[in-house]
């Protein structure tokens, strides 16, 4: 290749690197003016990073910490980005010099035996080697600097950003229970009522500070104290109906109160009783436990262990049911259903024109079979087997539990108003086969991935239970009479048609 052509190509490559240097990423911070909009941290799913906002507008990370008044975090980001900008310029310059040295070494090597040039053999080799190393090192420095200066790279995680917001709002102590000035509570369905014996479920409480900004209560649930009237009806997010203890609680509202421990904020939610809900009296069997994953193959090309079978679902309890129509002050026609099994007695009270009662005596679902273990690695020497181990077979799903045997007593109309399910539990899902082990070897003797293990079998369905209906005069319904004794105002209706 002529010397002038080689020089031209070297200059072209040098110009390309110079253009790359000109496209360096610069610090995107804009130093916005503070205003009344709220600083927010929006967590991203499956990531420690977060979207940083002012109101609804996205903010650069450095600008976010500047507005939050977190000068230490601001300076760290600023220094990292300034360093990144410098490293881009320096890296591109070193790469250009390295490329020039590489091109010079190539030129010297091509013409060293000509009459116009006489140099030792090692000179072009050293020149090309040094030039190549400088070029690669410079480009590595450039890429590293570009990454550090990039607006998409966050130095701090979401928790750090949230803490900065809290310190900006509440002082050096950050967010404390005393920061909460208002609370709000509601049910998950938004209704201001609870089902007759089914109760209600509360949504997580929300809180605001004195400026009206929302306070994240995640991890601070111990700051709140919950109470109810009547007493002791709250367990976690569940509000138990007082009707489950005594039918004397017909039409009785439930007050749910949440307060800040050691603070002044509180909120009360009054729930009225709703007898139009459909209720479930459950004697269902427990679901079987899923099988665990089989052990991986631990030696070269060893097969993975088979996944264990899922446990069988539990059998439903045998249960006795009594049903009758009753009336109460303000309610002309209600359906009272009492259920008795080994665990004790429970009842449901509904308006049969709008709600119903279901007796769930179904068997529990069988547990899913465990996944097969992964096959062993094929080995990294040509003398090894190289073929990865076979994955373990998936476990068999557990058998579903048997449905229960239910006896229903009452008038023909009352029995017809009760819906009974005694189906056997579904069998557990088959476990999937384990992955084959990765192939071993190297470039001269590559191995192959082992075969995936076979899936396990599905579990069998549990046997169905039975339902027996016995038409019984209302005066002979002892469980109904015992439940009614908790409220003398209840009147047992005769065996009348609906």
Residues 6+ apart with CB under 8 A from 203: 185, 186, 187, 188, 237
User: 72 with 147, same domain?
Assistant: yes
- pLDDT of the residue at 15: 52
Sort 408 into a burial class: Cβ within 10 Å, 0-12 / 13-18 / 19+: buried
**Per-residue pLDDT tens digits of the chain, which is 498 residues long:** 454 555 555 555 555 555 555 567 788 888 889 888 888 888 765 556 678 989 888 899 899 999 999 999 999 999 998 888 888 888 888 888 888 888 877 777 666 555 555 667 777 777 788 888 888 888 888 888 888 888 888 889 888 998 898 888 888 888 889 899 999 999 999 999 999 999 999 999 999 998 888 888 888 999 999 999 999 999 999 999 999 999 999 999 999 999 999 888 999 999 999 999 999 999 999 999 999 999 999 888 899 999 999 999 999 999 999 999 999 999 989 999 999 988 789 999 999 999 999 999 999 999 999 999 998 887 777 665 678 889 999 999 999 999 999 999 999 999 999 999 999 999 999 999 999 888 777 666 777 888 898 998 999 999 999 999 999 999 999 999 999 999 999 999 864 443
Please check whether residue 87 lies inside any domain of the structure. yes
Pairwise CA distance, residues 129 & 350, whole Å: 88
Pairwise CA distance, residues 138 & 99, whole Å: 10
Please check whether residue 327 lies inside any domain of the structure. yes
Other C-beta atoms within 10 Å of 417: how many?
Answer: 19
Residue in 448, 435, 388 with CA at minimum distance from that of residue 294: 435
Peptide bond into 230 cis (omega under 30): yes
* Helix 61-68 vs helix 71-111: crossing angle, to nearest 10: 150
User: 265 with 337, same domain?
Assistant: no
199: left (phi over 0), alpha (psi -120 to 50) or beta: left
Residues 6+ apart with CB under 8 A from 283: 316, 317, 318, 319, 339, 341, 343, 359, 360, 361, 404
CA distances from 229 to 116, 254, 257, 483 (A): 105, 6, 8, 22
User: 304 with 263, same domain?
Assistant: no
Answer whether 243's CB lies under 8 Å from 349's CB: yes
Answer whether 207's CB lies under 8 Å from 182's CB: yes
Please check whether residue 407 lies inside any domain of the structure. yes
Task: Please calculate the CA angle 333-335-338 and round it to the nearest 5 degrees.
Answer: 150
- pLDDT of the residue at 305: 94
CA distances from 115 to 103, 111, 112, 121 (A): 20, 9, 8, 15
Pairwise CA distance, residues 387 & 377, whole Å: 8
Please check whether residue 417 lies inside any domain of the structure. yes
The most distant pair of C-alpha atoms in the chain lies apart, rounded to whole Å, by 128
238: left (phi over 0), alpha (psi -120 to 50) or beta: beta
User: 247 with 297, same domain?
Assistant: no
When divided into structural domains, the chain yields a total of: 3
User: 433 with 304, same domain?
Assistant: yes
Pairwise CA distance, residues 94 & 125, whole Å: 19
Pairwise CA distance, residues 364 & 404, whole Å: 11
Please check whether residue 71 lies inside any domain of the structure. yes
User: 260 with 336, same domain?
Assistant: no
Domain assignment of residue 20, given as a range: 3-159
CATH number at residue 269: 2.60.40.2120
Please check whether residue 170 lies inside any domain of the structure. no
* Helix 3-22 vs helix 71-111: crossing angle, to nearest 10: 180
User: 131 with 181, same domain?
Assistant: no
User: 81 with 151, same domain?
Assistant: yes
- pLDDT of the residue at 148: 84
Residues 6+ apart with CB under 8 A from 185: 202, 203, 205, 206, 256, 258, 267, 269
- pLDDT of the residue at 497: 41
Pairwise CA distance, residues 376 & 132, whole Å: 41
- Last residue of one domain, picked from the residues 124, 159, 194: 159
User: 21 with 84, same domain?
Assistant: yes
- Last residue of one domain, picked from the residues 251, 274, 297: 274
Three-class SS state of 241: coil
User: 248 with 342, same domain?
Assistant: no
Answer whether 462's CB lies under 8 Å from 315's CB: yes
Residue in 355, 474, 468 with CA at minimum distance from that of residue 413: 474
User: 496 with 375, same domain?
Assistant: yes
Handedness of CA 66, 69, 73, 78 (dihedral sign): positive
Pairwise CA distance, residues 43 & 30, whole Å: 23
Our measurement of the distance from residue 304's CA atom to the centroid of its chain's CA atoms, rounded to an integer in Å, reads: 29
Pairwise CA distance, residues 313 & 309, whole Å: 12
Other C-beta atoms within 10 Å of 439: how many?
Answer: 18
User: 135 with 28, same domain?
Assistant: yes
- pLDDT of the residue at 120: 72
Sheet containing 224-229: which strands, arranged edge to edge?
A: 193-195, 266-274, 254-260, 224-229
Please check whether residue 167 lies inside any domain of the structure. no
Answer whether 323's CB lies under 8 Å from 414's CB: yes
- Last residue of one domain, picked from the residues 242, 274, 306: 274
| Torsion of Cα atoms, 85 then 88 then 93 then 99, to 10° | 180
Please check whether residue 164 lies inside any domain of the structure. no
């Amino acid at each position: 290749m002529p010397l002038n052509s080689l020089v031209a190509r070297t200059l072209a490559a040098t110009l390309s690197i110079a253009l790359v240097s000109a496209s360096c990423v610069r610090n995107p911070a804009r130093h916005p003016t503070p205003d009344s909009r709220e600083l927010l941290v929006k967590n991203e799913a499956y990531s420690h990073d977060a979207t940083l906002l002012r109101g609804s507008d996205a903010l650069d990370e450095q600008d976010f910490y500047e507005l939050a008044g977190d000068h230490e975090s601001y300076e760290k980001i600023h220094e990292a980005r300034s360093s990144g900008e410098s490293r881009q310029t320096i890296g591109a310059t070193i790469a250009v010099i390295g490329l020039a040295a590489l091109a010079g070494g190539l030129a010297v090597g091509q013409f060293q035996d000509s009459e116009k040039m006489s140099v030792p053999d090692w000179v072009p080799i050293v020149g090309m080697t040094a030039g190549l190393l400088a070029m690669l090192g410079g480009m590595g420095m450039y890429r590293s600097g570009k990454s550090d200066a990039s607006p998409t790279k966050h130095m701090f995680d979401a928790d750090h950003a949230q803490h900065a917001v809290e310190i900006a709002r509440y002082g050096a102590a950050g967010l404390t229970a005393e920061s909460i000035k208002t609370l709000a509570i509601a049910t998950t369905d938004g209704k201001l009522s609870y089902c007759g014996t089914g109760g209600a479920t509360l949504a997580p409480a929300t809180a605001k500070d004195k400026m009206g900004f929302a306070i994240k209560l995640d991890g601070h649930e111990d700051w709140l104290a919950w109470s109810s009237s009547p007493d002791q009806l709250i367990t976690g997010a569940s509000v138990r109906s007082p009707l489950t203890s005594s039918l004397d609680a017909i039409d009785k509202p439930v007050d749910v109160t949440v307060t800040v421990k050691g603070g002044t904020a509180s909120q009360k939610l009054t729930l009225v009783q709703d007898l139009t809900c459909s209720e479930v009296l459950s004697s269902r069997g427990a679901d079987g436990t899923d099988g665990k994953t089989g052990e991986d193959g631990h030696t070269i090309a060893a097969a993975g262990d088979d996944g264990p079978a899922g446990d069988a679902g539990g059998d439903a309890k045998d249960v006795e049911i009594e049903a009758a129509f009753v009336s109460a002050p303000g309610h002309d026609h209600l359906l009272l259903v009492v259920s008795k099994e080994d665990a004790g007695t429970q009842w449901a009270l509904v308006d049969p024109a709008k709600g119903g009662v279901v007796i769930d005596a179904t068997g529990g679902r069988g547990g899913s079979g465990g996944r097969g273990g992964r096959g062993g690695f094929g080995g990294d020497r040509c003398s090894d087997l190289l073929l990865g181990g076979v994955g373990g077979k998936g476990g068999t799903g557990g058998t579903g539990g048997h449905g229960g045997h239910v006896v229903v007593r009452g008038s023909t109309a009352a029995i017809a108003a009760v819906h009974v399910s005694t189906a056997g539990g579904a069998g557990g899902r088959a476990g999937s086969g384990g992955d084959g082990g990765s192939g071993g070897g190297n470039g001269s003797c590559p191995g192959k991935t082992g075969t995936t293990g076979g899936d396990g079998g599905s579990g069998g369905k549990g046997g169905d239970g039975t339902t027996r209906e016995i038409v019984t005069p209302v005066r002979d319904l002892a469980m109904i009479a015992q439940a009614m004794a908790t409220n003398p105002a209840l009147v047992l209706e005769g065996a009348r048609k609906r």
